[in-house]
Chains A and B, each alone.
Chain A
Amino acid sequence: EPEVTQTPSHQVTQMGQEVILRCVPISNHLYFYWYRQILGQKVEFLVSFYNNEISEKSEIFDDQFSVERPDGSNFTLKIRSTKLEDSAMYFCASSLSRGSDTQYFGPGTRLTVL
């Protein structure tokens, strides 16, 4: 069964450094998402992406964050200058269509900012 994959599974970085989290969505899906979950808290929406554009973003997704689909298979989340409070599990998701379809989640990348 097709699945969303994410790399790395765990990333440790120093405050102020840039990190890139990578995702490979399900191949025929058209809509891509990033969510995050701070330890012990709810899963929170960050951004949705369709047709090489951001379609919606949350207040969390400020200028420090960016997303890109550099080729036909990868979908990346870049954090330009990490802060301690960026430490969280970051989940990538994809869906075939918007609104009515199941979103399929990857296993997550645990980001630790020291």
Chain B
Amino acid sequence: KQEVTQIPAALSVPEGENLVLNCSFTDSAIYNLQWFRQDPGKGLTSLLLIQSSQREQTSGRLNASLDKSSGRSTLYIAASQPGDSATYLCAVMDTDKLIFGTGTRLQVFP
């Protein structure tokens, strides 16, 4: 059974720092991996999708990597801003469904 874990559970950093969020999964047979952002009490905003055949995806200040063989993905956020404060969720696609991690709650303070 696929399990998705994210560390750290929470992170508080000053504005401007580069940071790395980690996601690990137990079964490497995935279709893709998505990173989402969730603001308190709100829906999920898709940030990046990495296909299982890809190693990396970039969007603006965000870069996500995927190492299927080791069951890991990282989300790199460059030059963090207070507006980046949110919970970041990693999810792996298993046939027809996304399996989510518990998320990393990020706070960026000015």
A residues apposed to B, CB below 8 Å: 31, 33, 35, 41-45, 48, 55-56, 58, 91, 93, 98-108, 110
Contact = CB atoms under 8 A, between A and B. Distances in A.
Contacts of B96: 31, 48, 55-56, 98-99
B97 A48 contact: yes
A106 to B, nearest CB: 6
B21 interface: no
Interface stretch (B11-19, B68-76, B98-106): B98-106
Interface residues of B, number: 24
Contact of A43 (B41, B44, B45, B93): B44
Contacts, number: 57
A48 B31 CA distance: 16
B75 to A, nearest CB: 16
Contacts of A44: 100
15 contacts: A41-B102, A42-B101, A43-B89, A43-B98, A45-B98, A45-B99, A56-B96, A99-B95, A100-B51, A102-B46, A105-B36, A105-B43, A105-B44, A107-B42, A108-B42
